[in-house]
Chain A
Amino acid sequence: MAEQLAPPRQAPGAVGAYVKNVRDTAKSFWEGMSVTLSYMFRKPITIQYPDRTDVPVRDTIPARYRGFLEVDMDTCTACQACERACPIAVINIDILKGDGKTTPKLRMERFDIDIGKCMYCGLCVEPCPTGSIQHTREFEGAVENFDNLTLRFVPDVLHPVVPYKPPKGAEAFPRIPLGEITRALLKAWDAPRPAFPSLEETAKAAAHGKPKEGALDPAALGRQLAAKALSVKDDKPKLQKVLEEAMAGTDCGDCGYPDCFGYSDAIAQGKDTATDKCAPGGADSKSMLETILVSLKTGAVPGEPAKPAASAASAPAAEAKAEAPAGPPLSQTLPKDELYKVVLDAMAGTDCGDCEYDDCDGYTKGIVYEGQTDLNRCAPGGEDTRVKLFQIMLGTKPPPK
């Protein structure tokens, strides 16, 4: 029918054109008006959201829908893979480190997601080893104040959350029904604006600050561990345990090994000398591992530094210590299995897989046994792990990134 409406246009005479124009106009109006009239007798497609729908709109949304993010803190391993994957840094995870004895090695004191800035791309969901972070089907969260759009999955900074330790080889992880956590966290429309202190106020607070509550003294702990490591110097499994204590213990795999055991074992076996692979452990893990390795090499626990280590200036201290020994790197002195433990210990131990190995263990094995030379891969460990790994494997400081 449509084609019949558009016959090829020839150039008719004046009267012919006149009549033809009138005819075409009438004909096309006839068709068009018939179409619009027929819609008077059809059911409008509109869904009368929100109140006149058969089922709540949320239940009609497909399962893959990318709504507000939700983190189940019960299965979060603190590997921070989501934080690294986020292209726009809407996820902020802060980790408190402990010695693994009196306090857990890693505790999350902050897991904030700014859903006002989130672009719902889903890239954070993909690397999560346990499926803890997920998009929900929640999409209604309008608030009067922008700042109220931040979801705080650790409700209280004074009560840090201990990360989940997934059982070995697990493929499914327990998870509470999707959406419940986020729904509980969404603020009311007229919730008051959070009273953010100004920068000056916080600076004052920091100036008065003592070491973070619950924070450990990495230098002291490092010396403790070093002493212990010296005592079990030749017993690789025990040494591995000591080394693992210095790690974050999230089994994130960011170090390239499947878990913290892998990394620490690699270091213990001497297969891995990098101490900077433990991403969740960060600077603290790195400095502790350094201390242990240095003491293993030199045979003596490094002495108390002159100034109190409480200033938490762990990284410079560790570096200072790292420079002290002039012997060959641990990779050459330690047997492979021990090195493996040492290396594994240097890693963050979150098993995050960021290093392209399945877990920290894999990366450690890669370094120690398979000749992997790239020591920069432990993302959760960051700079600390890098420094450690280079120290262990090459005996040098890592090149600047």
Chain B
Amino acid sequence: MQEWIDSLIRGWGHDPATWPWTQFLYLAFMGLFAFIVINFAAISAGIFSWAERRVAARMQSRVGPNRVGPFGFLQWVADAVKLLLKEDLVPAEADSVLFRAAPYFMMVGFACVFVCLPFSHRLIVADMNIGIFYIIAVTALIVVGIIMSGWSSNSKWSLFGAIRSAAQIISYEIPGGMALMIPVLLAGTLSTQGIIRAQGGWPWQWFIFDNPFSFAAFFIYFISALAEGNRTPFDLPEAESELVSGYNTEYSGMRFSYFFLVEWGNMWVMSALATTMFLGGWQLPFLSPAQFDALTGFPAVAAELASLAVFAGKTLFFVFVVMWLRWTLPRIRVDQMMNMCWKYLVPASFAGVIFVAGWMLVVHAVPWLGWAMRFVLTGVATVGVAMFALRTMKNLRDTGDKFDFSSNW
């Protein structure tokens, strides 16, 4: 965005390097962007909270919140207002400073990620050249917030949740990080936009279908992301049936809403990252990044919007998958969670990195092999999706139900 501001200054007839207000303008725009991004995060989290409830309800043969606004869409606003107006209780025995501070740590760790998350071809706050590294680093701040909240609550349930969460997030950062290294290897850059540019608009150009190991890496990343986001089947830190509510047991009102804002906002983060790293991000078919850069005027705006829609579409699909998983799977136990990380995902992700490196050498030598593998994997995935759809329809008919997507919403 710096270039854009610089060009703005040049447009006003100043040289950005010498104009005395340049830095202030930078600061003002930083504040503006921060405001926009945090609001985006908060609103998307709110909308996801509504969407998750509707999706969960439908999956459970229920209706869900459908009274406030059309389809109950304003439910999240009502809930947010309620949470903001509720009394903010601090338990008498709690460490009140840490207790009050913990949600902000989580918010910071969560909001900072958005700095490097792309939204479309041009929409990104800062396209850092170490973007992925930065994202992995700042998400660790969430753990600090969770541990603070669990410890300061002075409740055993909160402490349990916090310790579980710390173990879980720190463990799963390793396979998650290693899995992200595979697209980094394939693209040769840590910049998020760079990784997207290295892919293409068609599914066979995506990194997920690049080779079997990146295919596996996608799932390793996705599982780790679920664990880092405390989503089922890794919702141990707030395991409702075991720990009451985990680390946020003692929170109420606005501070409680921060925790949930982070949880639901994280769904966007993990999905957007998956889209960026493995699914071609905002790439449009028939339009290579270079052609995209060259567009001007109305076509540029239209393509920008289209890329935004593509990116959001892919991301929202994964948000849906995250919800769908949550309402399907049981929760794993804490030792199984650790087992899974260290015995399954970590070795697999390390092996994946090594194999992808080797695969790149092979493809470099025999280029048609790379394309053949891409088409085969894409074909396999397509067949898998089709089989899944058929299986789902069979499930539906087996119990004598009719296909009905429209009624009783």
- The reply on A13 being an interface residue by CB < 8 A is no
Q: Which of B389-409 contact A (CB under 8 A)?
A: 391-393, 395-396, 401-405, 407-408
Q: C-beta contact mask, B240-260 vs A, less than 8 Å → 1, else 0?
A: 000000000000000000000
- The reply on A206 being an interface residue by CB < 8 A is no
The answer for the CA separation of A43 and B310 in the assembled complex, in Å, is 30
Chain A contacts for B328, CB-based, 8 A: 29, 32-33, 35-36
Q: C-beta contact mask, A18-50 vs B, less than 8 Å → 1, else 0?
A: 100110000001111111111111111110100
Query: Which one, A18, A22, A29, A46, contacts B62 given CB within 8 A?
Result: A46
- The reply on B380 being an interface residue by CB < 8 A is no
Of the listed stretches B52-60, B92-100, B114-122, B295-303, chain A binds B52-60
B61 touches A37 (CB 8 A): no
- The reply on B202 being an interface residue by CB < 8 A is no
Q: How many residues of A contact B (CB 8 A)?
A: 22
A42 touches B61 (CB 8 A): yes
B204 to chain A, nearest CB (A): 23
Q: C-beta contact mask, B49-72 vs A, less than 8 Å → 1, else 0?
A: 000000101111111000000000
Nearest opposing residue in chain B for A42, CB measure: B401
Q: Say yes or no: A34-B401 contact (C-beta < 8 A), given A40-B58, A43-B408, A44-B61.
A: no
Query: Which one, B327, B344, B388, B405, contacts A22 given CB within 8 A?
Result: B344
Q: How many residues of B contact A (CB 8 A)?
A: 28
Chain A contacts for B401, CB-based, 8 A: 42-43
The answer for the CA separation of A39 and B62 in the assembled complex, in Å, is 10
A62 to chain B, nearest CB (A): 23
Q: C-beta contact mask, B356-396 vs A, less than 8 Å → 1, else 0?
A: 00000000000000000000000000000000100111011
A38 touches B395 (CB 8 A): yes
A41 touches B403 (CB 8 A): yes
A38 touches B344 (CB 8 A): no
B34 to chain A, nearest CB (A): 37
A32 touches B329 (CB 8 A): yes
Chain A contacts for B391, CB-based, 8 A: 30-31, 34
A383 to chain B, nearest CB (A): 57
Chain A contacts for B59, CB-based, 8 A: 36-37, 39-40
The answer for the CA separation of A19 and B325 in the assembled complex, in Å, is 22
B396 touches A33 (CB 8 A): no
Chain A contacts for B324, CB-based, 8 A: 33, 36-37
The answer for the CA separation of A46 and B60 in the assembled complex, in Å, is 10
B61 touches A38 (CB 8 A): no
The answer for the CA separation of A43 and B59 in the assembled complex, in Å, is 10
Q: Say yes or no: A44-B62 contact (C-beta < 8 A), given A30-B388, A38-B392, A38-B393.
A: yes
B322 to chain A, nearest CB (A): 12
A35 touches B58 (CB 8 A): no
Nearest opposing residue in chain A for B326, CB measure: A36
B348 to chain A, nearest CB (A): 9
The answer for the CA separation of A32 and B232 in the assembled complex, in Å, is 14
A34 touches B61 (CB 8 A): no
Chain B contacts for A46, CB-based, 8 A: 61-63, 408
Q: C-beta contact mask, B19-53 vs A, less than 8 Å → 1, else 0?
A: 00000000000000000000000000000000000
B392 touches A34 (CB 8 A): yes
A124 to chain B, nearest CB (A): 37
The answer for the CA separation of A48 and B391 in the assembled complex, in Å, is 30
B396 touches A42 (CB 8 A): yes
Chain A contacts for B396, CB-based, 8 A: 38, 41-42
The answer for the CA separation of A30 and B392 in the assembled complex, in Å, is 10
Query: Which one, B325, B393, B395, B408, contacts A44 given CB within 8 A?
Result: B408
Chain A contacts for B60, CB-based, 8 A: 39
Q: Which of B311-327 contact A (CB under 8 A)?
A: 324-325, 327
Query: Which one, A18, A43, A48, contacts B344 given CB within 8 A?
Result: A18
The answer for the CA separation of A43 and B405 in the assembled complex, in Å, is 7
Query: Which one, A18, A22, A35, A48, contacts B395 given CB within 8 A?
Result: A35
B58 touches A39 (CB 8 A): yes
Sorted nearest first, the 3 A-B pairs with minimum C-beta distance are: A38-B395, A38-B396, A46-B63
A32-B328, A39-B60 are known contacts; what are 14 more A-B pairs with Cβ within 8 Å? A29-B329, A34-B395, A37-B59, A37-B392, A40-B59, A41-B396, A41-B405, A42-B396, A43-B402, A43-B407, A44-B63, A46-B62, A46-B63, A48-B63
Would you give 26 A-B contacts (Cβ < 8 Å), ordered by A? A29-B329, A30-B391, A32-B329, A33-B324, A34-B388, A35-B395, A36-B327, A38-B392, A38-B396, A39-B58, A39-B60, A40-B55, A41-B392, A41-B403, A42-B61, A42-B403, A43-B407, A43-B408, A44-B58, A44-B61, A44-B62, A44-B408, A45-B62, A46-B62, A46-B63, A46-B408
Residue ranges of A at the interface with B (Cβ–Cβ < 8 Å):
18, 21-22, 29-46, 48
